[in-house]
Homo-oligomer: A and B are copies of this chain.
Amino acid sequence: MRILIIEDEPGIALFLKEGLQEESFAVDVANDGPSGLELATVNDGEYDLILLDWMLPGLSGIEVVRQLRKISSQVPVIFLTARDTVQDTVFALEMGANDFIKKPFSFEELLARVRVQLRGKQSENSKIVHRNLVMDLNTHQVFVDSQDVSLTQKEFALLEFLLRNKGKVCTRSRIIEHVWDIHFDYNTSVIDVYINALRKKIDGNTDTNLITTIRGVGYIIKDE
């Protein structure tokens, strides 16, 4: 995971850099707006996250984000700032920022927010393992007891969502939003149908029970 820090105060920049390196991130630092923007645009796609100071010499943080979004860079941006009025927050979010941390902040807090932004990416090139089930996100394969189980796109997406939220109940609204990208007015029983299909393919005729129904709420893959 590569992180770009755009911050003019050397003390803070160093503090962040070392802290993040200890967490095994690859960290680059730019100490003014223009050079930060250049690094970000030239290496677009390379960075998994940008930590961006609001007040910067040369080019303000806001302007950096604007330019970045203009070239349709999707990289998550977290603002670091002393300001904290609601207007500023909203403004920054509207300009394309993903989150907003007000100084002074604890490193713990920053780390938590960084992980939120990187969630998903962090395990992107890897596998999700749950008991006797292995989901390979690269090859789009699923194995149960090392047996290849072939899933359709939607089945795969649904299972992935449930597994990523292992231990938490996935409500129907959440599922329909994330897996089907329907944001309003869902009145459909697709979820039921796909849960059914998954259960058939995964649990088969064994008496295991991967997906648990929480009546009136949704579904969950229990932890342990």
Interface size on A, residues (CB 8 A): 46
B222 touches A139 (CB 8 A): yes
Given the known interface contacts A86-B93, A98-B86, A217-B153, the answer about A104 and B22 at a Cβ–Cβ threshold of 8 Å is no
Residue numbers in B under 8 Å from A140 (CB-CB): 169, 214, 217, 220
> How far apart sit A177 and B22, CA to CA, in the bound complex (Å)?
14
> How far apart sit A110 and B78, CA to CA, in the bound complex (Å)?
19
User: A139 touches which one: B15, B18, B19, B168 (CB < 8 A)?
Assistant: B168
> How far apart sit A19 and B172, CA to CA, in the bound complex (Å)?
8
A145 at the interface (CB under 8 A from B): no
Q: How far is the CB of A201 from chain B (nearest CB, A)?
A: 15
A216 at the interface (CB under 8 A from B): yes
| CB-CB nearest in chain B for A22 | B171
B139 touches A171 (CB 8 A): no
A206 at the interface (CB under 8 A from B): no
Residue numbers in B under 8 Å from A100 (CB-CB): 90
Q: Which of A31-39, A45-53, A178-186 contacts B (4 or more CB under 8 A)?
A: A178-186
| CB-CB nearest in chain B for A14 | B185
A207 at the interface (CB under 8 A from B): no
B183 touches A107 (CB 8 A): yes
Q: A residues touching B (Cβ–Cβ < 8 Å)? A: 11-12, 15, 18-19, 22-23, 86-87, 89-91, 93-94, 98-100, 104-108, 138-140, 152-153, 167-169, 171-174, 177-178, 183-185, 214-218, 220, 222
